[in-house]
């Protein structure tokens, strides 16, 4: 049997280069080799404040993004998490074997608590258990996601191990599939590119003008310092981004300019903007095609859900039996 791969993205707005390089590129690389399920995790989406009136549209946007970047429904299944209710059932069953204290200690939970002090809900605490259920429901072995998800992957493996030792070998221990761009820095010069930080990102549907404007706002330095590239600074961030989008030769040229203390950031940003747009343009064209073909997209979604439900039901049946639900 082919290895299974599972990944998901929350429907919280337009995908950006961090999602593209950290998750989508990994998905693309894996769809040729394995049995893949790529999901819009709408149940995870609602753990932070959201608008029910736009949820449907947001979910659809991610499906379109998936298709636009080249996820191919002939090679992988596209899923909408809530349409396969077995996720929730498995999450509940798994939650009974996992300690609350471990969930309270997770950095992702603490971050969200700090970010939304008035919205510390059970779903937020439960998030990693549902995520474990997402992958284990399909006995997924590889998970293409960004490096920030590693603590969640650890929880997933702990749950798999615990289940196996309590009820017999059932689940593999999923590993994260790493991509070259697993860490995409923020344009603000601090931290990583993030949907929730204004000015930090470039989305995959930004036009050339917008990309230029967003890059123009990214902080730099005087350009005359010279010497080795700084390790942790807005300029370091810019170079990390540059490396992900231009050839080695072009990168080395700018690095040399920096060392000699005569780098021109306007030129660097222009080259970077062009390279990013060159990569995004075909994606944007393809997205328009799908946008104009609603019926096809509906069919793709329906077929994904049908196949996923079949696979999910097999696992759930096995888990119910192993846990003693044999009446
Ligand atoms: N937590 C992931 C994120 O924020 C989204 C996610 C939910 C996910 N379930 C998943 C990713 C299962 C991979 C596999 O990016």
- pLDDT in the model for residue 146: 86
Same domain? 42 vs 107: yes
Beta strands in the chain (DSSP E): 4-9, 35-40, 76-80, 142-144, 175-177
Residue with token string 């060159």: 278
Would you say residue 144 lies in a domain?
A: yes
Q: Is residue 188 part of a domain?
A: no
Instruction: Check residue 174 and give its pLDDT.
Output: 98
Q: Give the nearest ligand 1 atom to 131 CA.
A: 9
- What's the CA-to-centroid distance between 131 and ligand 1, angstroms? 6
Q: How many CA atoms lie within 13 A of 151 on its CB side?
A: 13
Q: Is residue 200 part of a domain?
A: no
193 falls within a domain: no
Ligand 1 atom with the shortest distance to the CA of 41:
7
Same domain, 175 and 215: no
- Residue 276 belongs to some domain of the structure: yes
Regarding the beta carbon of 59 and ligand 1, being less than 6 Å apart is answered no
Which single residue is written with the structure tokens 């044999």? 326
Beta strand pairing status for 4-9 and 76-80? unpaired
Q: 35 and 159 share a domain? A: yes
Mutation test of ligand 1: which of 5, 10, 40, 177 has the most ligand atoms closer than 8 Å to its C-beta?
Answer: 10
Nearest Cα to Cα of residue 156 among 231, 94, 74: 94
| Count of structural domains within the chain | 2
Residue with the smallest CA separation from ligand 1 atom 15 is 9
Whether residues 84 and 221 fall in one domain: no
Give the span between the Cα atoms of 127 and 95, in whole angstroms: 10
- Is 156 found in the same domain as 280? no
Shared domain for 259 and 138, answered yes or no, is: no
256 and 126 share a domain? no
CA of 296 to the centre of ligand 1 (A): 26
Reduced to 3 states (helix: H, G, I; strand: E, B; else coil), residue 72 is: coil
Cα separation, 228 vs 180, whole angstroms: 23
Structural domain contains residue 22? yes
Sheet architecture: strand order including 35-40: 76-80, 35-40, 4-9, 142-144, 175-177
249-265 confidence digits (pLDDT tens): 999 999 999 999 999 99
- 260 and 305 together in one domain: no
Alpha carbon of 133 to ligand 1 centroid (Å): 11
Report the C-alpha gap between 88 and 301 in whole angstroms: 20
Rg value, the chain, Cα = 21
Give the domain extent around 14: 4-183+293-322
Q: Which of 11, 30, 44 to mutate to test the pocket of ligand 1 (most atoms within 8 A of CB)?
A: 44
Write out residues in the chain with pLDDT < 50, as ranges.
Answer: none
Residue at 269 is within a domain: yes
Q: How far is the CA of 6 from the centre of ligand 1 (A)?
A: 9
Global pTM? Answer: 0.93
| 316 assigned to some structural domain | yes
Residue of 131, 137, 143, 196 to test ligand 1 pocket, by largest number of atoms within 8 Å of CB:
131
CATH code of the domain covering residue 267: 1.10.240.10
The answer on 252 and 104 residing in a single domain is no
> Do 120 and 41 reside in the same domain of the chain?
yes
**CATH number of the domain bearing residue 166:** 3.40.50.620
Domain identity same for 36 and 94: yes
Predicted local confidence at residue 83, as pLDDT: 98
Residue linked to tokens 């995520």: 131
pLDDT, residue 1, reads 82
* 103 and 138, same domain (yes or no): yes
């Amino acid at each position: 049997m082919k290895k299974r791969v599972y990944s998901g993205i929350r429907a919280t707005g337009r995908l950006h280069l961090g999602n593209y390089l950290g998750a989508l590129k990994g998905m693309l690389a894996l769809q040729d080799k394995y049995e893949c399920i790529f999901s819009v995790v709408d149940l995870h989406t609602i753990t932070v404040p959201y608008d029910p009136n736009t949820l449907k549209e947001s979910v659809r946007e991610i499906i379109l993004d998936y298709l636009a970047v080249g996820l191919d429904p002939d090679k992988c299944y596209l899923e909408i998490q809530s349409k396969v209710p077995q996720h929730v059932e498995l999450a509940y069953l798994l939650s009974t074997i996992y300690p609350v204290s471990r969930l309270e200690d997770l950095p992702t939970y603490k971050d969200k608590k700090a970010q939304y002090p008035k919205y510390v809900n059970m779903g937020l605490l439960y998030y990693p258990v549902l995520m474990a259920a997402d992958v284990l429901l399909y006995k997924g072995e590889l998970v293409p996601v960004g490096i920030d998800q590693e603590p969640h992957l650890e929880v997933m493996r702990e749950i798999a191990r615990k289940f196996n030792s309590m009820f017999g070998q059932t689940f593999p221990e999923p590993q994260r599939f790493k991509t070259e761009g697993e860490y995409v820095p923020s344009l603000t010069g601090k931290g990583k590119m993030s949907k929730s930080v204004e000015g930090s990102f470039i989305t995959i549907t930004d036009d050339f003008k917008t990309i230029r404007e967003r890059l123009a706002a990214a902080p730099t330095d005087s350009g005359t310092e010279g010497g080795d590239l700084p390790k942790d600074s807005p300029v370091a961030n810019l170079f990390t981004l540059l490396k992900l989008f231009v050839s080695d030769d072009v990168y080395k040229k700018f690095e040399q300019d920096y060392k000699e203390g005569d780098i021109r950031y306007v030129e660097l940003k222009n080259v970077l903007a062009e390279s990013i747009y060159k990569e995004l343009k075909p994606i944007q064209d393809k997205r328009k095609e799908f946008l104009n073909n609603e019926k096809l997209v509906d069919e793709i979604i329906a077929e994904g859900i049908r196949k996923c439900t079949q696979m999910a039901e097999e696992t759930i049946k096995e888990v119910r039996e192993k846990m003693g639900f044999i009446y």
